[in-house]
Amino acid sequence: MAEEVKVGDTQGEHETHAAVPPPRRRRLKPKPLLIGIVAVAVLVGAIIYYVHFIAPYESTDDAFIDGYVTLVSARVPGQVLELRVLDNQAVHQGEALVRLDPRDYEVAVAQARAEFASAQSQLEQSHAQVDLSQARVSQAQAAQSAAQADAQRASDDLRRYESVERRAVSKTAFDQIQAQARTTAANLRAARSQLTGAEAEVSLSKAGVDSAAAAVQLAEARVRQAELNLSYTDVVAPVDARVTARSVQPGNYVQPGQTLLALVPQQVWVTANFKETQLVHMRPGEPVTLRVDAYPDHTFKGHVDSLQAGTGARFSLLPPENAVGNYVKVVQRVPVKIVFDGPLPQGLDIAPGMSVVPTVKVR
């Protein structure tokens, strides 16, 4: 019995050993050193990315295409006879845009030319009057010379009669010679007066020439003004541009200074309103990458042209008055002018007012 129990115990022991599984190999956990290396690598990569792709750039979505807009106005009053352009049409400098009724101005030109011809005729008459007055002066000078000779002869005769004995000359003859001397002296004075009057008439005639010449100049100026007014009936384009904001129609009666339409030239730029805190390193000449919202597949190159000498709020219609009331500090924006490098691609309608996102490389 004892042997059997022993054998049985041994068998149970073997069964117990057979049921216990073999020990598994222990899984190794990541070492803290490796985790630290990965973390440092990620941090260094983030720093490098920030330094090279974020820190050197300044960007804003408060930017728009800008350009000059030329307002075309009438220079003379009149009724619109013909409209020669369409909306958004491209025009060249000197090309006719609107034509006003020219008939009133053609009549004014004809009248001004007639007045100019009349003034020229008056000038010629004034020159002729001067010649006539000078001829009268010559005639008066000859009459004065003759009167002076007669007066001198009569005076000499009177002195001779006065030097002889009274008994040798009859009283009648003496009285006659004396009267003749007085008459010739009076004739001399009259001749001198006539000469003075003729010379004064020459001066007056020359003044008439000056007045007639001034009238000719005035009439000529009126002719030029009338011709200018006639030319203003053709409203032409002052620059190469595209027609926009047309408000005139054939048959309208327009007044001087009234805006008929607007012209937008091809030359445009970007006005970007950067925060004042973004201008620390921004300088003219720095390169800019431009993306226009209307053409998201195109990237344009440009550069900073200039920074406005003042914030946008300072030049607004109602600038802020920070010296009164409560004050809340607000980050201001400064307009920055950005110009395109080279001409814009053909076929892209980039017009003022379009939204742009510029990215400036500041360092």
Residue 264 near residue 237 (C-beta atoms within 8 A): no
Same domain, 109 and 216: yes
Residue that wins the pLDDT comparison between 169 and 122: 122
Report the pLDDT value the prediction gives residue 23, as an integer from 0 to 100: 57
**Residue 50: inside a domain:** no
Same domain, 221 and 335: no
Residue 142 pLDDT greater than 90, yes or no = no
The CA distance from 166 to 175, in Å, is 12
Q: pTM of the entire structure?
A: 0.66
Residue 123 near residue 216 (C-beta atoms within 8 A): yes
Strand partners, 333: 275
What's the per-residue H, E or C state across the chain? CHHHHHHHHHHHHHHHHHHCCCCCCCCCCCCHHHHHHHHHHHHHHHHHHHHHHCCCEEECCCEEEEECCEEEECCCCEEEEEECCCCCCEECCCCEEEEECCHHHHHHHHHHHHHHHHHHHHHHHHHHHHHHHHHHHHHHHHHHHHHHHHHHHHHHHHHHHHHCCHHHCCHHHHHHHHHHHHHHHHHHHHHHHHHHHHHHHHHHHHHHHHHHHHHHHHHHHHHHHHHHHHHCCEEECCCCEEEECCCCCCCCEECCCCEEEEEEECCEEEEEEEEHHHCCCCCCCCEEEEEECCCCCCCEEEEEEEECCCCCHHHCCCCCCCCCCCCCCCCCEEEEEEEECCCCCCCCCCCCCCEEEEEEECC
Residue 20 pLDDT greater than 80, yes or no = no
Say which range, 113-127, 184-198, 219-233, 341-355, has the weakest mean pLDDT: 184-198
**Residue 241: inside a domain:** yes
Nearest to 337, CA basis, from 310, 304, 359: 304
Residue 235, CB half-sphere, CA atoms under 13 Å: how many? 31
Token pair of 278, please?
Answer: 């973004």
Q: How far is C-alpha 52 from the chain's CA centre?
A: 44
Residue that wins the pLDDT comparison between 33 and 57: 57
The CA distance from 197 to 141, in Å, is 11
Residue that wins the pLDDT comparison between 251 and 7: 251
Report the pLDDT value the prediction gives residue 48, as an integer from 0 to 100: 74
Say which range, 107-111, 196-200, 211-215, 343-347, has the weakest mean pLDDT: 196-200
The CA distance from 72 to 135, in Å, is 60
Same domain, 140 and 200: yes
Same domain, 151 and 244: no
Average of per-residue pLDDT across 323-352: 89
**Residue 197: inside a domain:** yes
Quickly state the pLDDT bin for 7 (edges 50, 70, 90): very low
**Residue 208: inside a domain:** yes
Which domain CATH number covers 246? 2.40.50.100
Same domain, 112 and 179: yes
Residue 97 near residue 235 (C-beta atoms within 8 A): yes
Residue 10 pLDDT greater than 50, yes or no = no
Say which range, 44-53, 106-115, 276-285, has the weakest mean pLDDT: 44-53
Residue 260 near residue 73 (C-beta atoms within 8 A): yes
Same domain, 89 and 110: no
**Residue 193: inside a domain:** yes
**Residue 247: inside a domain:** yes
- Cβ contacts of residue 358 below 8 Å, gap of 6+? 59, 60, 63, 270, 272, 288, 289, 290, 291, 302, 338
Q: Are strands 90-91 and 333-340 parallel, antiparallel or unpaired?
A: unpaired
Residue 271 near residue 340 (C-beta atoms within 8 A): no
Residue 303 Cα distances to 258, 289, 357, angstroms: 38, 8, 13
Residue 24 pLDDT greater than 70, yes or no = no
Same domain, 175 and 109: yes
Same domain, 114 and 83: no
Report the pLDDT value the prediction gives residue 171, as an integer from 0 to 100: 67
Read off the pLDDT of residues 73-84 as tens digits, 9 standing for 90 and up: 999 999 999 999
Nearest to 341, CA basis, from 306, 284, 300, 307: 300
Residue 70 pLDDT greater than 80, yes or no = yes
Report the pLDDT value the prediction gives residue 145, as an integer from 0 to 100: 81
Which domain CATH number covers 281? 2.40.30.170
Average of per-residue pLDDT across 224-240: 95
Report the pLDDT value the prediction gives residue 43, as an integer from 0 to 100: 83
Read off the pLDDT of residues 147-196 as tens digits, 9 standing for 90 and up: 777 777 777 766 766 666 666 556 676 667 777 777 878 877 887 787 78
Same domain, 192 and 212: yes
Same domain, 205 and 284: no
Report the pLDDT value the prediction gives residue 157, as an integer from 0 to 100: 66
User: What length does the chain have?
Assistant: 363
Say which range, 233-242, 314-323, 328-337, has the weakest mean pLDDT: 314-323
Same domain, 107 and 212: yes
Residue 257 near residue 76 (C-beta atoms within 8 A): no
Per the structure, the complete domain to which residue 220 belongs is given by 103-231
Residue 263 near residue 67 (C-beta atoms within 8 A): no
- End-to-end alpha carbon distance in the chain: 100
Which domain CATH number covers 171? 1.10.287
Residue 110 pLDDT greater than 90, yes or no = yes
Domain count, the chain: 3
User: Where does a domain end: 219, 254, 289?
Assistant: 254
Report the pLDDT value the prediction gives residue 40, as an integer from 0 to 100: 81
Residue that wins the pLDDT comparison between 46 and 211: 211
Q: What is the mean pLDDT of the chain?
A: 84
Report the pLDDT value the prediction gives residue 30, as an integer from 0 to 100: 60
